[in-house]
Amino acid sequence: MTSRDDLDRAQLVLAAAAVVAVALAPVVFAYLQLGYHADVRATGDYDAPVESAERVLDRAVHDAADGVPSSYRWESRSAAVSAVRSRVADDVATLETSRVEEGTVYRVGYNRSAARAWANRRCPSGPDRQFGACEADRGVVVQNRGDETHVLAVTFDVHVTTDRGEYDATVAITS
């Protein structure tokens, strides 16, 4: 047999459940309006693909340019440019295949015209300059400093294809 106290307790539990359901309704509606999907990356975890490529190229250029002045006289600047490009090649190849499985494809090439423009804008000219001439060669800007070849910049065209779209950028990495 059911006592009056049991019926009162059941009604109280039912009323409490109704209050909780009413209180949770706005949370459920907000959740549905946000369009949550479990495989969407949090904004803070997503690096812009061009910025990721730029970081890799920056490190590669700095590593490749290290030791060039002590190894290459100005007369051998073409060989210095070839050495820099050769040293950067492995990092570029690694970048281009690094995230293919995740759906991100990088294509990187040298930009010769951007290198010439960079040299024209950034290299001083005239009788008061402290260093020698600058030269843009195959996307690499070098300068004569005390008859040694110094790498100033390397310019790249970066094309990135992701599931979110395609990105194109020209970047100048200074050493």
Same domain, 35 and 102: no
Based on the fold, state whether residues 51 and 85 are members of the same structural domain.
yes
Mean pLDDT (the chain) is: 85
Total Cβ atoms within 10 A of residue 32: 9
Residues 145 and 169 in one domain: yes
For position 6, what pLDDT does the model report? 67
Q: How does DSSP classify residue 101?
A: G
Same domain? For 13 and 65 the reply is no
β-partners of residue 153 are 174
* Per-residue pLDDT at 92: 96
- Return the higher-pLDDT residue of 42 and 21: 21
Same structural domain for residues 81 and 130? yes
Query: How many separate domains does the chain show?
Result: 2
- Residue 20 sits in the same domain as residue 78: no
Q: What is the DSSP letter of 46?
A: P
Give the per-residue pLDDT at 60.
96
Residue of 121, 124, 114 whose CA lies nearest to 155: 114
Q: Comparing 23-27, 39-43, 86-90, which segment has the lowest mean pLDDT? A: 39-43
Residues 25 and 81 in one domain: no
Whether residues 101 and 56 share a domain: the answer is yes
Residue 97 per-residue DSSP state: H
Same domain, 105 and 143: yes
Q: Are residues 56 and 10 in the same domain?
A: no
Q: Are 96 and 104 in contact (CB under 8 A)?
A: no
The residue segments making up the domain with residue 20 are 1-40
Q: How far apart are CA 156 and CA 81, in angstroms?
A: 14
Q: Which residue has the higher pLDDT, 19 or 90?
A: 90
